[in-house]
Amino acid sequence: MKVAVLSGKGGTGKTTVATNLAYIMNAHYLDCDVEEPNGHLFLKPIIEECIDATILNPKIDDIKCTHCGQCSEACQFNALAVTQTGVIVFNELCHGCGVCSLVCPQRAIKEYQRGIGKISIGTFGKNIFLSGKMNIKEPMGGPIISKLHAYSNFNELTFVDCSPGTSCNVVKAIEDTQYAILVTEPTQFGLHDLNLAIQLLKDMHIPHGIVVNRSNGRDTEIKAICKKENIPLIGQIPFEREAAVTYSKGNLLVDEDPFERIFKEISNRLLHLLKVEV
Amino acid sequence: MELVIISGKGGTGKTTITAGFSSLSDSSHIKADCDVDAANLHLMFDYQIESRVNFVGAKLAAIDLESCIGCNLCMHYCRFNAIDKTIENKVVVNPLKCEGCGACKVVCKHHAVSLNDEITGETRKYKTKVGTLTGASMIPGAEGSGKLVTQVRKMAKHYSDGKEANILIDGSPGVGCAVMASVTGCKYGIIVTEPTLSGYEDFVRVHELLKFFNIGALAIINKFDINDKMTKKIETYCLGNDIQCLGKVPFDRKVENSINEGKPIVEYDDSIAGKAIKEMWSRFIEFCFKAEEGSKI
């Protein structure tokens, strides 16, 4: 069972919620924020293996190539440019779809696995930790996220820490999950982006609940959204300067009061919702 | 001159600071909100939407069920698991997984696949008291955020007077295609970071990206008083890596008020964060002036 943790807006507390819940619920953890992974800082895993994450990119056989231009014409991403002397491949634009290889009448295109990042596999306590990290200068982390999911089909509960936003990285991170926790904050930015994330989860038919981080105790507008959209409020984590200090040092909140109690309540509510809604 | 404000880590305060700088800069300078996934900059000003245009940022495959014979060849060749079986033994495209590559169309022997333009978002021109703001609203789950960012920047250039466009860009978190599209071609990039372990790691990564693009890097440490040790670590890193540290902004609960009231923090006279951000803008102007003088020697 995979539970995604996403937000829309960056910095609302996705990693805080995902790591603290994974820790107290004895769950596995998957860091799908492959552009800027942070979960390892809090869970401090023992890494046992590091594997390459790759994308299939084309390689042109210059001897067979007749410069007909069909590959370039068929490519929807402008990743190939055909000149009189050869074909230039723009790897950073390539989506690894294989269309160029399919259309080449000379069968002059082979594909090879090019490294775009790394996947770390390890443990924290008795639980499994997986994290993806994209190489700088790479534009797309999607293939790394898909590989992370392929490596993590566990029976037990797994938290999937997502990147901010609502674009393709988030879609790839949540598409293999059965429930989603939306972490938000009681600000206009938080609300605006929360609505975008809710739209995405509805489109993908993933049941979801909300956790408010840096709660002011009232969270009136968030509660109104919960009521209007029939979304359960799983918990409210109060604003505490001390929490920011603890976080800044890379420490889990659940080692201290009042957060141990708060996260335990959230975990109980979550378990109940998983039984009922999934 | 194009200046981009990025962070690596989300939530460090990019939009707060961009809004502050927008308020302090000349209204002839165009502002561009390139955080197209989760665009917030316009919320910091009273705004009017002057124009909205649909943006086609990707292609989407579609199956004609009458022509489809259910041979599944398209499913076999689709590398994105974007084609599902239907109850009638035909196939259907999942629009959230489809990357618009057209492999299905290439292999289909029954002409059952079409590849169509997909509207991935909407670009907007806002009129605000701080001048023209270009931005976009991306459809949640859509592909091609980088392309939408490029369009927002094109619009900003189009609306600026003369050849020497002065554009202030609010970037997005991360280091991927949307950020790359936001930073490419900019003269300077200000990294807004926070004194946390997460913030520091992400700061180092996004700085690497600026170096690759040959963009002059500056830094602002936001909420610096949360952790003095981490603040010093960031300052030391800046010194050793040719990053101009513009300064430190203290944590200030008034920032939350400013976000909720839709007013840049620099417009609150009693805000310590607002005061710091004003100082930072002056330092940036001075830095640019000195850099300009230096390049003439």
Interface test with B, best of A118, A131, A147, A167 (most B CBs within 10 A): A167
Tens of pLDDT, residue by residue, chain A (278 residues): 999 999 999 999 999 999 999 999 999 999 999 999 999 999 999 999 999 999 999 999 999 999 999 999 999 999 999 988 899 999 999 999 999 999 999 999 999 999 999 999 999 999 999 999 999 999 999 999 999 999 999 999 999 999 999 999 999 999 989 999 999 999 999 999 999 999 999 999 999 999 999 999 999 999 999 999 999 999 999 999 999 999 999 999 999 889 999 999 999 999 999 999 88
Which residue's entry shows tokens 């659940």?
Answer: A254
Give the nearest chain B residue to A142 (CA atoms): B80
Contact A35 B175 (CB under 8 A): yes
Examine the pLDDT at B293 and tell me if it is beyond 90. no
Closest CA to B201 of A138, A36, A120: A36
Q: What's the pLDDT at B297?
A: 56
SS (H, E, C) chain A: CEEEEECCCCCCCHHHHHHHHHHHCCCEEEECCCCCCCHHHHHCCEEEEEEEEEEEEEEECCCCCCCCCHHHHHCCCCCEEECCCCEEECHHHCCCCCHHHHHCCCCCEEEEEEEEEEEEEEEECCEEEEEEEECCCCCCCHHHHHHHHHCCCCCCCEEEECCCCCCHHHHHHHCCCCEEEEEECCCHHHHHHHHHHHHHHHHCCCCEEEEEEEECCCCHHHHHHHHHHCCCEEEEEECCHHHHHHHHCCCCHHHCCCHHHHHHHHHHHHHHHHHHHC
Is pLDDT larger for residue B240 or for residue B295?
Answer: B240
Q: What's the pLDDT at B23?
A: 96
Q: What's the pLDDT at B292?
A: 82
Helix (H, G, I), strand (E, B) or coil at B143: coil
* Model pLDDT for residues B219-262, shown as the tens digit of each residue: 999 999 999 999 999 999 999 999 999 999 999 999 999 999 99
Contact B212 A188 (CB under 8 A): no
**Burial of A228 per CB tally in 10 Å (0-12, 13-18, 19+):** exposed
Average pLDDT over residues B40-65: 96
Residue B108 token pair = 């289909």
Provide the phi-psi class of B242: left if phi over 0, else alpha when psi is between -120 and 50, else beta.
left
Examine the pLDDT at B112 and tell me if it is beyond 70. yes
For residue A258, is the peptide bond before it cis, meaning its omega torsion is within 30 degrees of 0?
A: yes
Which residue's entry shows tokens 């022997």?
Answer: B109
Q: Give the one of B11, B208, B227 whose C-beta lies nearest to A136's C-beta.
A: B208
Q: Which residues of B touch A200 (CB under 8 A)?
A: 140-141
Q: Which residues of A touch B145 (CB under 8 A)?
A: 165, 167-168
Average pLDDT over residues B16-26: 96
Q: Which residues of B touch A138 (CB under 8 A)?
A: 176
Report residue B160 CA to chain centroid gap.
19
Q: Which residues of A touch B102 (CB under 8 A)?
A: 74, 76, 97, 99
Q: What's the pLDDT at B294?
A: 77
Q: Give the one of A36, A141, A203 whose C-beta lies nearest to B9's C-beta.
A: A36
User: What 8-state DSSP symbol labels residue B257?
Assistant: H
User: What 8-state DSSP symbol labels residue B176?
Assistant: S
Q: Which residues of B touch A141 (CB under 8 A)?
A: 176
**Kind and range of the H or E run holding B273:** helix B272-296
Q: What's the pLDDT at B162?
A: 64
Average pLDDT over residues B140-147: 93
Average pLDDT over residues B182-197: 97
Q: What percentage of chain A carries pLDDT values higher than 70?
A: 100
Which residue's entry shows tokens 């609940």?
Answer: A209
Q: Give the one of B180, B195, B206 whose C-beta lies nearest to A139's C-beta.
A: B180
Report d(CA A253, CA A230) in Å as an integer.
29
Contact A200 B140 (CB under 8 A): yes
Angle at B25 between CA B23 and CA B29, to 5 degrees: 110
Examine the pLDDT at B161 and tell me if it is beyond 80. no
Give, in order, the Cα–Cα distances in Å from B234 to each of A39, B188, B192, B203.
20, 19, 11, 9
Residue A209 token pair = 């609940």
ipTM exceeding 0.85, yes/no = yes
Examine the pLDDT at B163 and tell me if it is beyond 90. no
Q: What's the pLDDT at B131?
A: 95
Q: What's the pLDDT at B263?
A: 96
Which residue's entry shows tokens 């960031």?
Answer: B234
Q: Which residues of B touch A10 (CB under 8 A)?
A: 7, 9-11, 38, 172-173
Report d(CA B179, CA B145) in Å as an integer.
9
Report d(CA B297, CA B295) in Å as an integer.
6
Average pLDDT over residues B40-45: 95
pLDDT band, residue B115 (cuts 50/70/90): very high
**Kind and range of the H or E run holding B56:** strand B47-63
Q: What spatial distance separates the first Cα and last Cα of chain A, rounded to whole Å?
A: 9
Q: What's the pLDDT at A176?
A: 86
Size of interface A-B (CB pairs under 8 A): 186
